[in-house]
């Protein structure tokens, strides 16, 4: 496979909802996030919180709102995150020279909350900066009011280094050639800022990010990619609650122009296992993994039928119902959705992953008193009683079916929790796990002896690569060897990238699923084929953009990124695969 390259450079006038996903960057304050393209346009921003209404939604509609930089003859240049932080430096090129823009959001206890800043180095030519705010997911017109400190924008405070003026429902600041400047947008109007104030906030924000980075204890293979992935997970993390959203965007499609467009600004139980694992194994001196699990375990009572809803909002409340918005969609991909209708599905793997995450916490010695055991125990009792029910599976499909992967991970969760249970609990859970193993052996194999998607199916799904990782079986059993052979034959275009198998569609119509490649790499690490695992990791790393961000999927031919960004699940998958590989390399040295 040819390594994907950045897509064709686009002109300044490219419609906001046609910007390649590969060209998106993300900044955040660990409360919310803003999405920025290579021309320095902020195309998505939800003030205050990830899952709140957007103020800027140009990413999903050309009239959805943006914060743009206008400079004659401009085109994209290089960009980078500043000193390992979530602060993004973008270079915009023009005939007269380069304009360097630093976008960031204040973070840390010594900086104010809820301030988005744009700093402009000396302009090579006259620059016009335009804030076109469209609150309520692009459906409203922002109320604008001139104030002594700047302009009130839908109740938020906008300030600038140069005079601000209101033009046709937009706010404009002119930056003359040769002058540097800045603009800031705060959640609420505040006292007048100046350069010294900004410098102070920037220093504290950088210090906060560096403090997070000091917790990282990793210097092995793919070290830069691991740090990029940890930053991406942190950009998706709500610091106050410890929750990590699946991504910071909504409705970026799995198939361009198609209808598989979902809101990922919520917290999924199934992500807990991999993300907690990544954080616990990578951040030896940090408590981020514990905080995430603590959040998940606070979510009991969010479902009337199950131990908890399979995903929640940032307040541990049931996510809002699915609503379609009258927006054009990214490259015409409609419908555009907010909320998510799958919150009360039965997904056995989601509950099992919570128990597996707790096991990691206990095994790493982070919890002497087996924290959250009441929740883990309730989940395991539920799995022991309900494992034989059809569910919606890891891909949240309808109608429910007896997906083999859900049964397998339930058995693993029950067996792992039994090691920490009292005698009665352990006996009950091990008995249920034994029943699951018997059921899978009798019903869960294809005619080729591979693990089937569900009984009677002759297809396999890439989730089966995780069975040895979950400790269900050894990596070299006849069933796993047959499964991996079928996966490579039917679901991999090149033996390194993998599609997922879907019931409601042909998964090969989508891009390759990035997290899946890392699962397969973990499998080959367990088989001892380390060069093969390293090549698979490298092929999937190549699907990231220049900032090291993954979306959910990628077109294996063009390298075009698909799906919401940044995909925390994929970044956690990379960390898990790389740590396993590095430990195996160390052991074999």
d(CA 392, CA 105) in angstroms, rounded, equals 38
Gap between the Cα atoms of 497 and 506, Å rounded:
16
The H or E element spanning position 106 is none
Q: Are 8 and 18 a contacting pair, CB within 8 Å?
A: no
* Rounded percentage of the chain residues whose pLDDT exceeds 70: 96
Tens-place pLDDT, residues 275-312 = 888 888 887 655 777 888 889 889 998 998 999 999 99
CB under 8 Å to 235, separation ≥6 — which residues? 26, 27, 28, 30, 33, 86, 248, 566
List pLDDT tens digits, range 8-18: 455 567 899 99
pTM over 0.85: yes
Q: How far is CA 271 from the centre of its chain?
A: 10
pLDDT-derived band at 443 (thresholds 50, 70, 90) equals very high
Q: Give residue 230's pLDDT.
A: 94
Tell whether the model's pLDDT for residue 87 goes beyond 70: yes
- The domains of the chain, with CATH numbers, are 16-211 (2.70.98.50), 215-588 (1.50.10.10)
pLDDT in tens, 102-161: 999 999 999 999 999 999 999 999 999 999 999 999 998 999 999 999 999 999 999 999
Q: Residue 363 — very low, low, confident or very high, per pLDDT cuts 50/70/90? A: confident
Q: Whole-angstrom Cα distance, residue 572 to residue 578?
A: 10
Backbone angles phi, psi at 267, to 5 degrees: -110, 115
Give the position of tokens 């907690």.
276
pLDDT-wise least confident of 75-84, 279-288, 441-450: 279-288
Note the pLDDT of residue 368: 59
**The two three-digit tokens of residue 153, written as one number:** 């924008």
Strand ranges (E), 406-521 = 512-513
505-560 pLDDT tens trace: 999 999 999 999 999 999 999 999 999 999 999 999 999 999 999 999 999 888 89
SS3 55: coil
Rg (CA), the chain: 24
Mean of pLDDT over the chain? 94
In angstroms, the Cα distances linking 538 to 21, 347, 543 are 20, 31, 9
Number of H helices, E strands in the chain: 12, 24
Among 283, 347, 282, 364, CA closest to 309: 347
Task: Report the distance separating Cα 36 and Cα 19, nearest Å.
Answer: 10
Give 494-505 pLDDT, tens digit per residue. 999 999 999 999
Nearest of 288, 293, 237 to residue 265 by alpha carbon: 237
> Which residue from 266, 34, 247, 24 is spatially nearest to 133, judged by alpha carbons?
34
**pLDDT tens digits for range 315-349:** 999 999 999 999 999 999 999 999 998 888 999 99
């Amino acid at each position: 496979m040819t390594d994907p390259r950045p897509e064709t450079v686009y002109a300044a006038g490219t419609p906001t909802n046609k910007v390649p996903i590969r060209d998106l960057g993300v900044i955040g304050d660990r409360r919310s996030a803003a999405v920025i393209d290579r021309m320095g346009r902020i195309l998505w921003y939800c003030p205050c919180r990830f899952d709140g209404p957007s103020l800027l939604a140009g990413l999903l509609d050309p009239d959805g709102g943006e914060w743009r930089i206008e400079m004659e003859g401009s085109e994209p240049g290089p960009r980078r995150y500043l000193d390992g932080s979530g602060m993004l430096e973008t270079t915009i090129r023009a005939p007269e020279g380069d304009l360097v823009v630093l976008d960031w959001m204040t973070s840390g206890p010594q900086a104010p909350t809820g301030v988005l800043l744009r700093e402009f180095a000396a302009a090579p030519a006259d620059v016009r900066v335009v804030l076109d705010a469209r609150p309520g997911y692009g459906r409203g017109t922002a109320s604008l009011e001139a104030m002594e400190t700047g302009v009130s924008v839908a109740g938020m405070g906008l300030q600038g280094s140069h005079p601000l003026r209101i033009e046709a429902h937009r706010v404009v600041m002119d930056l003359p050639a040769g002058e540097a400047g800045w603009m800031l947008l705060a959640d609420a109007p505040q006292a007048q800022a100046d350069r010294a104030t900004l410098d102070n906030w920037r220093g504290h924000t950088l210090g906060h990010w560096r403090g997070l980075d000091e917790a990282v204890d990793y210097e092995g293979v793919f070290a830069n990619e691991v740090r990029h992935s940890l930053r991406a997970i942190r950009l998706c993390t709500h610091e106050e609650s410890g929750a990590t959203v699946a991504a910071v965007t909504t409705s970026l499609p799995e198939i361009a122009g198609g209808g598989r467009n979902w809101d990922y600004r919520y917290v999924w139980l199934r992500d807990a296992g991999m993300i907690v694992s990544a954080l616990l194994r990578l951040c030896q001196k940090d408590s981020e993994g514990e905080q995430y699990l603590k959040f998940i375990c606070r979510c009991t009572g969010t479902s009337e039928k199950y131990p908890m809803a399979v995903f929640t909002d940032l307040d541990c409340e049931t996510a809002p119902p699915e609503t379609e918005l009258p927006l054009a969609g990214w490259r015409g991909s409609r419908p555009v959705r907010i909320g998510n209708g799958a919150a009360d599905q039965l997904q056995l793997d989601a509950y099992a992953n919570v128990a597996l995450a707790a096991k990691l916490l206990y095994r790493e010695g982070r919890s002497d008193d087996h924290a959250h055991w009441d929740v883990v125990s309730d989940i395991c009792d539920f799995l022991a009683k309900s494992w034989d029910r059809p569910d919606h599976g890891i891909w949240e499909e309808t109608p429910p079916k007896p997906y083999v992967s859900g049964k397998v991970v339930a058995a693993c969760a029950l067996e792992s929790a039994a090691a920490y249970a009292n005698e009665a609990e352990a006996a009950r859970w091990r008995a249920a796990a034994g029943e699951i193993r018997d059921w899978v052996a009798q019903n869960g194999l294809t005619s080729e002896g591979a693990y089937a998607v569900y009984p009677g199916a002759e297809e396999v799904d890439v989730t089966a690569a995780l069975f040895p990782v979950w400790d269900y079986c050894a990596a070299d059993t006849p069933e796993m060897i047959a499964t991996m052979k079928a996966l490579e034959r039917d679901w991999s275009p090149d033996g390194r990238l993998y599609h997922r198998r879907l019931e409601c569609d042909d998964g090969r119509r989508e891009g390759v699923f990035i997290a899946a490649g890392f699962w397969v790499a973990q499998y080959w690490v367990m088989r001892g084929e380390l060069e093969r695992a390293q090549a698979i990791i490298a092929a999937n790393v190549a699907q990231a953009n220049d900032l090291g961000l993954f979306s959910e999927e990628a077109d294996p031919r063009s390298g075009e990124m698909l799906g919401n960004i940044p995909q925390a699940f994929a970044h956690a998958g990379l960390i898990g695969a790389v740590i396993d590989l590095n430990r195996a390399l160390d052991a074999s040295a």
